[in-house]
Amino acid sequence: MIKNYFKTAWRSLWKNKTFSAINIFGLSVGVAAFLLIINYLRFEYSYDDAHVKKDRIYRVPMMTKEKGGKEQTFAFTYPAVAPALKKDFPEIEEAARFRRQGGIVIYKDQKIIESGTLYYADASLFNIFSFRFVKGNAATTFKELNDAVITEETAKKYFGNEDPIGKPLHYRNEDYIVKAVLEDLPANSHIRFNIILNYEKYIQLTQGAANTSWGWSDFYTYVLLKPGANAKTLEAKLPTFAERYMGTDMKQRDYQNSFYLQPLKDIHLRSKYDYEMAGNGNFSYLKYLGIAALFILFIAWINYVNLSTAHSLDRSKEVGIRKVVGAGKFQLVRQFLAESFFLNIIAIIIGILVFRLTLPAFSNLVEKDLDSLIVTDWRFWVFVVVIFLLGTLLAAFYPAFVLSSFQPIYSIKTSQGASGIKGGKDFLRRSLVVLQFIAAIVLITGALGFYNQLHYMQTRDLGVNIKQTLVVQQSANTDSSSIPSFNSFINDLTANPAIQSVTASTSVPGAEVGGSSDYALKNSQSGKRCRNFGVDNKFIDAYGLKIVAGRIFTNEKPAVDTNVLVNIILNETAVNVFGFAKNEDAVGQYIDGSGFHCKVIGIVKDYHQESLQNSFDPIVFYPEEERNLGNFSLKMNTTNLPALMDFVKR
């Protein structure tokens, strides 16, 4: 019997090819769009799921607030926090620190820039996070000061097919020995690194400051709570903890410092701290995206219902004849349900194929490696199957019910009343059309809103000129022996007629300014946290930053000696943070920071260093030699970018 139903269903679909094709096309497109969006949502929500102890892992961010000033929040904290937490609170099982580094790493004659992908970290991180070892193990790692751990991809990059264990990597005048290799980190991990070096070595290099300082920040700190420990109860004890270790300094400098516990699973989507280890998602945006996905599927199914119901008018005589020859209502319902189910299955299969074919392009669009994880996640497919089974049944039931309800006498007669559809059922059909239009209007309105936001972002004056700019990353090199080759590199670039100018900096517009320090006005105990931005004398002009007071760098001496006065430039936000009423008031003032004595010589207008959704950060621009800077911005006057890139590589 079932076989006969499906055979009849296939004949009906084949007989009405145009109708079937339209219905299948509409459904399959809706299915593909729904899958792409849900796949992306599942990926975003799955961040850091790979860690077995994820429910007990917390990050320790902090907030500082000066009297009368605004709060500054940081994803990192001080290096002394981790050991102090472990010592003071028995609820904490482990604590670990990450300190981001960068620069050139050498193996034999091969030099590779590790830009923000190299960290010093405590050995306890392997007890906190579920990083999988391919070679070596946690028990034998970081037993020696110069031990190093790398990922599989990094091992191939440096060593090819050689066994990396025991091989040396040269970094900043030190040889580090590879003791273990980890599986490449999953794409949905907020922690990203290529190389991990022993944190104990960093403590040695800093003469202990990386273990005892309560003023030097930029250390990402994580704790693992013991089973059963209550994070809220522990967090309530942190104000006393801060007072115990920082109370005297907070009173002297009249500021407040607070520590918090942030669940690991909240970091990617719900974190609002500055200086994140990696770019985060947005929980609110994902909610709207999820609603849009449901609306798309909803519209596709309603469209199917309406088309099927309209098509039922052409089949009224068929239904009438079936009833005359003895077909019962339940038999007709089963027959039409089989047809609907058959058509939906075809549409879903095609939709899944379209989804798989378009997934790589969609992954490139959102800049996420979506194909690596979610497609193999059985929970994702169980969810999809349940949704589609429910939707298929609901979408198929109404057309089947309408068709089976035709009155034989009216079905065989002329077109007036041929449908035999009663007022209540016709009202439902019209209601579905209205709902479809409402859903479509909502989607179109949302799409227009998104377009307007995108247009605003594309046309908004960022306050910085990034057009025709090619950025070349090269490791900072303070070795004086490299000066001749470096100067030759710069001369070769500037000699190319396609390059108008070359400027160097520690960061570039569009990227986060990584380093930060406390700066205090002369004779003031209260420090202000500002981002450090090292630039050469050409940077301000090259990027078109507007000077609103004072002057730009000309032939400034770099910050190499703490006994020499260093000229600096502030942005407008930094002027406000330091409490000056006008930009002009800040020019000529003396500020101490990072162990240097500084003089403000100019103020630049605030510009968008990062995303438009980010607020302006206080920035201190300081002069630095080009060879000590890692980013070279080439201002171009050519559209032949591939040729210029080939020239730079040579």
Whether residue 494 has pLDDT greater than 50? yes
Q: Answer whether residue 412 shows pLDDT above 60.
A: no
Lowest mean pLDDT among 7-11, 70-74, 304-308: 7-11
Please give the pLDDT value at position 178. 97
pLDDT single digits (tens) 298-310: 888 888 777 777 6
* 428 confidence band (pLDDT: 50, 70, 90): low
The DSSP code sequence of 90-145 is TTEEEEEEEEEEEEEEEETTEEEEEEEEEEEE-TTHHHHS-PPEEES-GGGTTSST
For residue 167, what pLDDT is reported? Answer: 96
390 burial level (CB within 10 Å; 0-12, 13-18, 19+)? exposed
Residue-averaged pLDDT of the chain: 83
For residue 217, give every residue at least 6 positions away whose Cβ sits within 8 Å of its Cβ, in sequence order, or none: 62, 74, 76, 77, 78, 516, 529
- When pLDDT is cut at 50, 70 and 90, the band that residue 396 belongs to is low
Confidence band of 325 (pLDDT split at 50, 70, 90): low
Helix or strand or coil: residue 255? strand
Which residues does 334 contact at the CB level (< 8 Å), separation at least 6? 5
Highest mean pLDDT among 27-36, 140-149, 298-307: 140-149
pLDDT of 485: 56
pLDDT at 423 over 60: no
- Both tokens assigned to 421: 């559809």
Most confident of 75-84, 477-486, 517-526, 633-642: 75-84
Check if the beta carbon of residue 158 is closer than 8 Å to that of residue 169.
yes
CB atoms within 10 A of CB 86: 17
Q: Regarding predicted confidence, which is higher, 137 or 629?
A: 137
Please tell me the predicted confidence (pLDDT) of residue 269: 93
pLDDT tops 80 at residue 247: yes
For the whole model, what pTM was predicted? 0.79
pLDDT for the residue numbered 417: 44
Cα separation, 399 vs 304, whole angstroms: 9
Better pLDDT: 2 or 230: 230
In tens, the pLDDT along 48-67 reads 999 999 999 999 999 988 76
Cα 137 to Cα 76: distance, rounded to the nearest angstrom: 28
Coil, strand or helix: which one is 318? helix
Distance CA 96, CA 93 (A): 11
**Position 212 pLDDT exceeds 90:** yes
Taking residues 222-227, report their average pLDDT.
Answer: 98
Q: Which of 138-152, 294-308, 420-434 has the lowest mean pLDDT?
A: 420-434
pLDDT at 418 exceeding the cut of 50? no
Q: What is the pLDDT of residue 227?
A: 96
Please say if the pLDDT value at position 204 is more than 90.
yes
Q: 173-177, 229-233, 323-327, 436-440: which range is least confident on average?
A: 323-327
Across 13-32, average pLDDT: 81
| Tokens 């500002």, residue located | 530
pLDDT in tens, 564-573: 788 999 999 9
Position 478 pLDDT exceeds 50: no
Local confidence band at 324 (pLDDT 50, 70, 90 cut-offs): low
Task: Return the pLDDT at 99.
Answer: 94
Question: By CB neighbour count within 10 A (0-12 exposed, 13-18 middle, 19+ buried), where does 87 fall?
Answer: exposed
| Greatest mean pLDDT range, 274-278, 320-324, 349-353, 526-530 | 349-353
Encoding tokens for residue 310?
Answer: 């309209």
Contacts by residues 397-400 (CB-CB < 8 Å, ≥ 24 positions apart): 397/337, 398/305, 398/309, 398/428, 398/432, 399/305, 399/308, 399/309, 399/312, 399/336, 399/340, 400/332, 400/333, 400/335, 400/336, 400/337, 400/339, 400/340
Q: In terms of pLDDT, which residue wins out, 300 or 426?
A: 300
- Higher confidence at residue 247 or residue 388? 247
What are 84-124's pLDDT values in tens digits? 999 999 999 999 999 988 777 889 888 787 877 899 999 99
Q: How far apart, in Å, are the Cα atoms of 440 and each of 284, 305, 445, 507?
A: 21, 15, 8, 44
> What phi, psi does 347 have (nearest 5°)?
-65, -40
CA angle 206, 212, 216 (to 5 degrees): 70
- Of 260, 304, 217, residue with least CA distance to 29: 304
